[in-house]
Amino acid sequence: MQRAPGPSGPTPKATRAEDTASEPERPGRRPRAGSNVDPVGGDGRGRHVVLVGAMGVGKTTVGRRLARELQRPFADADEQLELRAGRTIPAIFRDDGEENFRRLESDVLADLLAAAHPLVVAAGGGAITRPENRALLGRRAFVVWLQASPAFLAARADPTHRPLLAGDPDVTATLERLIAARTPLYEEVADAAVDVESFHAGDDKPKRALARHIARLVGVPAEAPG
């Protein structure tokens, strides 16, 4: 499968929960015409898998489960950054400003993606804002963009740990603005896109279903249901 050539390339078509039911494992299937996403049996085998998407979409919890499915180590980039800095993300934003946070974020992402063995990585929602991060993702990772509506995200994103939302009287509107500004950047890096809400609507274990769905996108067939 060819990666999208850049910002002007085709937008990954978001796969939904229904696609898992209607399109079970068919490794090696060709991409749909007009899509840059191979919906089943992608080229993620042996590469890092990086989950991107807005705050509150579930990158960390789904990433942990996905790592179990793929039998790989998991790394949460925000958590790694806090460990390295010895401070929380709100403290870094407050004391050093967002630009310094973004520099640290780039360093952590570069170090994670330099690992010789393939990882599953949950990236911070804004990691795609820096061109060097997008270039690195393009070279080193199979990138899965988790999508959901601002209202869904606002109900899940805890603002106390997220300086861009803290004290905001209208978190939904802020998320809407951030998503609008960042959508072309997510499109630029994404090898696959997944509609998270459809899993929450249709499955009593949505995160497990999501992880298994993504495992298939990466190219590793899911185990028998259990």
- Residues making contact with ligand S3P (CB under 6 A): 55, 59, 78, 89, 124-126, 162-164
Pick the closer one to ligand S3P by CB: 164 or 222: 164
Euclidean distance between CA atoms 189 and 149, whole angstroms: 20
Smallest separation (angstroms) from ligand S3P to the CB of 212: 22
- Rounded least distance, CB 198 to ligand S3P, Å: 20
Closer to ligand S3P by CB, 181 or 201: give it. Answer: 181
Query: Which of residues 55 and 70 has its CB atom nearest to ligand S3P in the complex?
Result: 55
Q: Nearest to residue 37, comparing CAs of 163, 224, 162, 216?
A: 216
Closest CB 206 distance from ligand S3P, rounded Å: 18
Q: In the bound complex, what is the minimum distance in angstroms from residue 40's beta carbon to ligand S3P?
A: 27
Instruction: Closer to ligand S3P by CB, 101 or 142: give it.
Output: 101
Distances (CA, A) of 72 to 27, 45, 69, 141: 20, 11, 8, 14
Using the minimum distance from each CB to ligand S3P, give the nearer residue, 40 or 144.
144
CB of 59 to ligand S3P, least distance (A): 6
